[in-house]
Amino acid sequence: MGLQGRTCQSSFATFCALFGLVAALSPLSAPPAFAETTLTTIEGQANFEAALEAYQSGNIETALSLAKTAARGGSSEAAVMAGHILRKGEAGRIDMEQAREWYERGAVKGHPDALVALGEMGLRRQGGVTEMQSVSYLTRAAEAGRTDAMRALSDMYRLGKGVEADPEKARHWLEKSAQSFDPQGTKDLADSLFESDPKAALKAYEQAAAGGHIEAAYIAGVMYAENFDIPPNEQKSSKWLRVAAEGGHPAAMADYGLLVYQGVGAKQSEEQAAAWFQKSAQKGDPEGQFLYAFTLAKGEGVPQDFGNAYYWVLKSIENSHDAADIDIYDKDKQTLKSRLEENVDPAILTKARQRASSE
Q: Which domain holds residue 32?
A: 13-174
Angle between helical axes of 76-88 and 96-108 (0-180°, round to 10): 160
**d(C-alpha 65, C-alpha 176), whole Å:** 39
* pLDDT at residue 322 in the model: 61
Q: How many CB atoms lie within 10 A of CB 159?
A: 13
* pLDDT at residue 323 in the model: 55
Give a yes or no: residue 183 inside a domain: no
- Of all residues in the chain, the percent with pLDDT exceeding 70 is 86
* Per-residue 3-state assignment (H helix, E strand, C coil) for 227-266: CCCCCCCHHHHHHHHHHHHHCCCHHHHHHHHHHHHHCCCC
Average of per-residue pLDDT values in the chain: 88
Average the pLDDT over 159-180 and give the result.
Answer: 96
Give a yes or no: residue 236 inside a domain: no
Out of 24-38, 54-68, 163-177, 241-255, least confident range: 24-38
If one counts the domains in the chain, the total is: 1
Give a yes or no: residue 271 inside a domain: no
* pLDDT at residue 359 in the model: 83
Give a yes or no: residue 158 inside a domain: yes
**d(C-alpha 250, C-alpha 242), whole Å:** 11
Give a yes or no: residue 95 inside a domain: yes
Q: Which residues of 258-287 are buried (b: 16+ CB within 10 A; e: fewer)?
A: bbbbeeebbeeebebbbbbbbbbbeeebbb
Q: Which residues of 300-315 are buried (b: 16+ CB within 10 A; e: fewer)?
A: ebbeebbbbbbbbbbb
* pLDDT at residue 330 in the model: 86
Give a yes or no: residue 63 inside a domain: yes
* pLDDT at residue 2 in the model: 42
* pLDDT at residue 227 in the model: 84
Q: What is the CATH number of the domain that holds 161?
A: 1.25.40.10
Give a yes or no: residue 97 inside a domain: yes
* pLDDT at residue 24 in the model: 34
Q: Is the pTM of this model over 0.85?
A: no
> What tens digit of pLDDT does each residue of 312-323 get?
999 999 998 765
Give a yes or no: residue 353 inside a domain: no
